[in-house]
Structure 1
Amino acid sequence: MNTTSKRQKAGLVLAGVYSATSIPSVLFPVSEGEVGPPIGILVIGSVLGLVGLVAVIVAWRTGSRAALRVAAGAVIIVTLTGLPAFFVDVSAGVKLLVGVSVLFTIAAVVLVFSPERRPTPVLD
Structure 2
Amino acid sequence: MSSTTLAPARGITTTKQKVGIAIAGVYSLTNIPGFLTAPDPGVEGPPMAILVVGSILGVIGLVASVLAWRGNRVALRVAAGSMIVITLTGLPAFFVDVPMFIKALVGFSVLLTVLAVVLMFSTDRRPVPVSTEVGAR
TM-score, normalized by the shorter chain, greater than 0.5: yes
| Runs of 5+ consecutive residues of structure 2 not aligned to the other structure | 1-10, 128-137
Q: 1:32 aligns with which of 30, 41, 56?
A: 41
- 1:65 Cα shift? 1.0
Q: 1:99 aligns with which of 103, 107, 117?
A: 107
Where is the helix percentage greater, Structure 1 or Structure 2?
1
Q: 1:65 aligns with which of 70, 73, 78?
A: 73
- Which residue does 1:84 correspond to in 2? 92
1:48-89 per-residue CA deviation (whole Å, 9 max, x = no partner) reads 00000000000101x111010000000000000000000111
> In the alignment, residue 46 of structure 1 is paired with which amino acid?
S
- 1:36 Cα shift? 1.3
Where relative contact order (Cα < 8 A, 6+ residues apart) is larger, the structure is: 2
Which whole-Å CA distance do the structure 1 matches of 2:77 and 2:103 have between them? 27
Q: 2:18 aligns with which of 5, 9, 18?
A: 9
- Which residue does 1:108 correspond to in 2? 116
Seq. identity, %: 60
4+ residue stretches of structure 1 with deviation over 4 A?
none
TM-score, length-scaled by structure 2: 0.83
> In the alignment, residue 11 of structure 1 is paired with which amino acid?
G
Where is the strand percentage greater, Structure 1 or Structure 2?
2
| Runs of 5+ consecutive residues of structure 1 not aligned to the other structure | 120-124
How is 1:37-52 mapped onto 2 (pairs within 5 angstroms)? 37-52=46-61
When the two chains are superposed, the root-mean-square deviation of aligned CA atoms in Å is 1.6
> In the alignment, residue 55 of structure 2 is paired with which amino acid?
S
1:1-41 per-residue CA deviation (whole Å, 9 max, x = no partner) reads x7211110000011011000000001110122222110000
> In the alignment, residue 56 of structure 2 is paired with which amino acid?
V
Aligned length: 119
> In the alignment, residue 83 of structure 1 is paired with which amino acid?
L
The higher radius of gyration belongs to 2
